[in-house]
Chains A and B, each alone.
Chain A
Amino acid sequence: MIALATFHIAMIPTSLLTAMNTIAMAMIGLTLMAITTISVTTVAMTVNFARRRRVLSIGSSIRSRSTSRIMALLTASLFLFCTPRSNAAVNVDMNVSHAGPRTVESLTERGIVRDYRIAWISLAHALEFNALGALSGPFVSTAKESLVNTVSSQQHSGLSTRYLNQNHKVEAVYYAPEGDVIELHDAADYQLQIFDGGKLVHDEHVVMHYVVLMTPAADHWVVRQLQAVPQF
């Protein structure tokens, strides 16, 4: 389903990307929930049958309560597992008051915030699941090449990277006279986890400074440059 959701992602408007991933995940969740429900019911029936044979005095109400608890626990676990963690928390706050020479209009600001957030969701998804398709919409040029190289390298070495609880304080520092490029400073903090297969080898809350170049595409903004710097 994930593969389906990200298939030919370049042809899908990026605004739909998050929704598609979420729907795909929800469908997986529902499917697994149904399978689990059937399995748990079968197990519960078997257990009940065995118990009836051995201890007939145990009341059926207690058994059904236990079964319900197991089911609820499994269902909750499945939903937690299936929720795309990379989408879970990406907060973007933007300040455009110091941008110039062109003034950033409110609609433009909203579009940039939306697309920059989608870019980070896609980045986190791509690096967590080593899914190259997620990079096609929001990133172009150098930013995309670098991320594609990272994902390919991760695939080769069996690594994955998780970006959790992302907070981005973004300031627009330059907006071109013709509106064809905007430069952002992003003071971001997030939990960075690096996995070797299933093993966590690095877990750190990091504060990063990114210089970002975004340009307008047909109907959205794309990240052209995403470069971490020591400070602004």
Chain B
Amino acid sequence: MSWSTNTVWANRRMRRLLRNGSGIVATLSLAGGMCAAQDLRAPSAMTAGEAATISTTGSGKATFYLVGPGVANKSDISLGSEISLRAQDLRDSGQYFATLCSDSCHSASFFVMPAKPANLAFLVHPSRVPVAASDAVSGVAIAFDQFGNLVRDPGTVNFQLTAGKASLLSRAVTAHDGIAWFRATSGKSAGPLQVVASLGDLSARRNVQEVASEPCNLRITGQRTKDGLMVETEPVHDCAGNPVPDGTIVSFTATDASGKSTVDAPIKRGIARAEIAASGPVVVSVASGVAMGNELRMGGGQ
């Protein structure tokens, strides 16, 4: 707690009186001020949302000011009595200035500390993540009290990552300045990944959708049709065996005597299919993302 004394009024009054040549009046005025000296004393520690009192000394009437985060109050008080600070005026953690003015002004400042943690803000990224991606999932937990004040020393936050029934990660992290965080590799199977942060009785849960990674081992088959070729992939999987989601684009490229043509087709129900207009001998290749598949060679009469 820091203390300061403000004698703005007294100094101004003194200067004005001296300037006017009323030295005796000034002396008396200051002496009078000292006789009725008022002071105030605030508790050393206050907690957000709890009522408190400030004691005053002196006698007579005075004006009391309380200025701090979320509050700027003014009230008339009697010196020598205790000033009650309402709980609702001390909801925000931070530094408050209490000023008492009668002949002169005296100030005291004090801190209101956060209450116990009541909320856990939990930011998790990303919302969809490919399987087996290194350091791809991250989370940040920030502790707040019931009034939204940052609790700087909330203790240890436990992070748990679960995919299905398998636990991927369980880590206890000590929060610094109210923040605890983790970073982890995603699981190996597609599906929902549950991410939980817990702090004492508090917990926050988020879901990350793990999706198949890039296609792996693309294989195509094909057959001649009346107008050309019909080619299709086998069910497309990533390298961990997860089916690649529908909508993923697969590119078929046909090379024949007339040149090269490419057809893009989305995966539907696990398989991508395309019809290519070609005559004579033709070579068809397939690719999706960075993955290449097998080549299919078909003669003109087949």
Interface residues of chain A, those whose CB is within 8 Å of chain B, are 101, 141-142, 145-147, 149-150, 153-154, 157-159, 161, 173-174, 176-178, 180-181, 183, 185, 192, 194, 196, 199-204, 206, 208, 211, 213, 225, 227-230
Contact = CB atoms under 8 A, between A and B. Distances in A.
B25 interface: no
B181 A153 contact: no
Contacts of B92: 146, 149
Is chain B's interface secondary structure helix, strand, loop, or mixed overall?
Answer: strand
A183 B8 CA distance: 37
Interface residues of B, number: 43
A128 to B, nearest CB: 12
Contacts of B177: 173-174, 183, 185, 211
Contacts of A161: 67, 72
B13 interface: no
Contacts, number: 123
B111 A229 contact: yes
Contacts of A227: 69, 93-94, 149-150
B152 A229 contact: yes
A159 B8 CA distance: 16
A174 B70 contact: no
Contact of A201 (B8, B181, B183): B8
B179 interface: yes
Contacts of A159: 65, 67, 72, 74
Given A211-B177, A230-B111, A225 B123 contact: no
Nearest to B69: A146
Given A159-B67, A203-B6, A213-B142, 13 more contacts: A150-B72, A159-B74, A174-B176, A174-B177, A183-B179, A201-B9, A202-B97, A202-B107, A211-B178, A213-B150, A227-B149, A228-B93, A229-B93
Nearest to B137: A177
10 contacts: A159-B65, A159-B67, A161-B67, A173-B177, A178-B138, A196-B101, A204-B6, A211-B152, A227-B94, A229-B94
B171 interface: no
B141 to A, nearest CB: 11
Contacts of B65: 159, 194, 196, 201-202
B74 A225 contact: no
Interface in B85-129: 92-95, 97, 99, 101, 105, 107, 109, 111, 123, 125-126
A163 B32 CA distance: 33
Nearest to B99: A202
Is chain A's interface secondary structure helix, strand, loop, or mixed overall?
Answer: strand
B274 to A, nearest CB: 38
Contacts of A142: 144, 148-149
B70 A153 contact: yes
A208 B95 contact: yes
In this complex, the member of B67, B74, B111 whose beta carbon has the largest number of chain A beta carbons within 10 angstroms is B67
A180 B124 CA distance: 10
